[in-house]
Amino acid sequence: MSQKREVFISVDIETAGPIVGEHSMLTVGACLAFNPEIEFSVMLKPISDKSVAAALEVSGLTLEQAQNDGLAPVEAMSQFAIWIAKNAPEGSTPVFVGLNAPFDWSFVNYYFLKYLSENPFGFTALDIKALFMGATGCSWHDTKSSSIDKRVFPTLQGDHDALHDAKYQAELFRLVYELSLRN
Question: Rounded to an integer, what distance in angstroms lies between the CA atom of residue 20 and that of residue 131?
Answer: 25
- H/E stretch holding 135 reads helix 128-136
Q: How many CB atoms lie within 10 A of CB 22?
A: 12
- pLDDT tens-digit series, residues 157-183: 999 999 999 999 999 999 999 999 986
Burial class (CB in 10 A: 0-12, 13-18, 19+), 100: middle
What is the pTM (predicted TM-score) of this model?
0.96
CATH code for the domain of 137: 3.30.420.10
pLDDT given for residue 1 in this prediction = 45
29, 143, 152, 159, 163 from 104: Cα distances, Å: 11, 17, 23, 16, 13
Is 164 designated active site? no
Domains in the chain, number: 1
Question: Rounded to an integer, what distance in angstroms lies between the CA atom of residue 100 and that of residue 10?
Answer: 11
Q: Could you tell me the residue range of the domain that residue 30 belongs to?
A: 5-182
pLDDT given for residue 105 in this prediction = 98
Question: Which is catalytic among the residues 23, 141, 160, 164?
Answer: 160
Q: What is the mean pLDDT of the chain?
A: 96
- pLDDT tens-digit series, residues 15-41: 999 999 999 999 999 999 999 999 999
Question: Rounded to an integer, what distance in angstroms lies between the CA atom of residue 160 and that of residue 14?
Answer: 7
pLDDT at 47 over 50: yes
- pLDDT tens-digit series, residues 99-133: 999 999 999 999 999 999 999 999 999 999 999 99
pLDDT at 3 over 80: no
- b (16+ CB within 10 A) / e for 59-95: bebebeebeeebeebeebbeebbebbeebbeeeeebb
pLDDT band for position 2 (cuts 50, 70, 90): low
Question: Rounded to an integer, what distance in angstroms lies between the CA atom of residue 63 and that of residue 28?
Answer: 15
| Closest by CA position to 173, among listed 114, 125, 128, 115 | 128
> In the chain, how long is the greatest CA-to-CA distance?
51
- pLDDT tens-digit series, residues 59-84: 999 999 999 999 999 999 999 999 99
- H/E stretch holding 25 reads strand 25-32
Once rounded to an integer, what is the mean pLDDT over residues 146-164?
A: 96
